[in-house]
Chain A
Amino acid sequence: MDANDLVGRMTEAYGDDVACVARSHKRVYASLAPEHLLAVFDWLMEEVPGLRFGTSTCMDLREGIGVFHHLPVNGTPLVITLKVVAPKPDPRVPSLTPRVPAAGWIEREMADMVGVVFEGHPEPYRLVKAESFPDTFPLRRDFDVARFKEDIGEQPDF
């Protein structure tokens, strides 16, 4: 499927709810609100043959916590990125895991790294942080390595 073609169809189906742009013939970026994520994801799974869940990126942005789902399409160079920004004090994003199990680990990792809550995740436990890890989020911008090492009782220099 062509990138511009997909952008046209997405804009037709969702109008202003999804800000969709084709950066090149193989990269499509779509920004949307968290409440539209599941509907748009379901629509893409139905409309685009060969679509699979690639991975997600989490980022601490000025306006909130960004969660970007990267969805490559088998057999084509196309990668669709769904960008969701959850406002900061209590960031919440609906989980894709009930729909596609491949999202399970990466959502748990993102919850560990930036503290996003994935609503509806079947296994909402820590993946990369052990139980004794202090309740800080290493990918948040206010995370300070030196202070963290001091907190857990490490020598700052060896």
Chain B
Amino acid sequence: MTSSTPLLVRALKKSPWVFHVGTSGCNNCDIEIADCLTPRFDVERFGIKLVGSPRHADVMLITGPVSQACREPLQQAWLEMPRPRAAVMIGACACSMGAYKDAYSVAGPPDKVLLEVDPDAKYIYVPGCPPKPETIVMGVVKLLGAL
């Protein structure tokens, strides 16, 4: 975050574009993220928009523990994001591995995987299995407040 100017951060807070990465979760959190876009929660009214490429995104939403196969794609997607950038770890698995702590094919929780390539990575945790859409929206809002 050191390389970003205050102006960029302010611009990001007005309308954060988010990119969603499911890293081998059970897809429950992923569905709740998609739920945030639909009429009841409709995060687009706050300017939060789900985009299809990490190059367009300001905030990355990460769900699930990172499997061995997903590790490099996740790191690559993170490095493609322009600064200032931040991540939201959504769900128990992304926060602490949850039920999959002992699984042999899991490389680690996403925060550890991100820190491997970017020691300055900024992120927050939204626990829950899965967190309700309200909680996810609140998590993103709190992240923006903390930037």
Q: Which residues of A contact B (CB under 8 A)?
A: 130, 138, 143, 145, 148-149, 152, 154-155, 158
Contacts and interface: CB of A to CB of B under 8 A. Distances in A.
A148 B104 CA distance: 8
A17 B102 CA distance: 42
A145 B108 contact: no
A154 B69 contact: no
B100 to A, nearest CB: 12
**Which of B68, B104, B108, B109 lies at the interface centre, i.e. has the most chain A CB atoms within 10 A of its CB?**
B104
The 4 closest A-B pairs by CB, nearest first: A145-B104, A158-B108, A158-B112, A148-B104
B104 A138 contact: yes
Contacts of B109: 158
Contact of B69 (A130, A138, A149): A130
Interface in B83-135: 102, 104, 107-109, 112
A62 to B, nearest CB: 23
Chain B interface SS verdict (over half): mixed
B70 to A, nearest CB: 12
Interface of B: 68-69, 102, 104, 107-109, 112
Nearest to A133: B68
B107 A154 contact: yes
Contacts of B68: 152
- Majority-rule SS of A interface residues: loop
A50 to B, nearest CB: 32
A141 to B, nearest CB: 14
A119 B109 CA distance: 40
B129 to A, nearest CB: 20
Query: Which of A138, A155, A158 gathers most chain B CB within 10 Å?
Result: A158
B104 A149 contact: yes
A47 B69 CA distance: 44
B83 to A, nearest CB: 26
14 contacts: A130-B69, A138-B104, A143-B104, A145-B102, A145-B104, A148-B104, A149-B104, A152-B68, A154-B107, A154-B108, A155-B108, A158-B108, A158-B109, A158-B112
A138 B106 CA distance: 13
Nearest to A145: B104
Contacts of B107: 154
Contacts of A155: 108
Nearest to A143: B104
A145 to B, nearest CB: 4
A154 B112 CA distance: 12
A145 B112 CA distance: 20
Given A154-B108, A158-B108, A158-B112, 11 more contacts: A130-B69, A138-B104, A143-B104, A145-B102, A145-B104, A148-B104, A149-B104, A152-B68, A154-B107, A155-B108, A158-B109
Contacts of B104: 138, 143, 145, 148-149
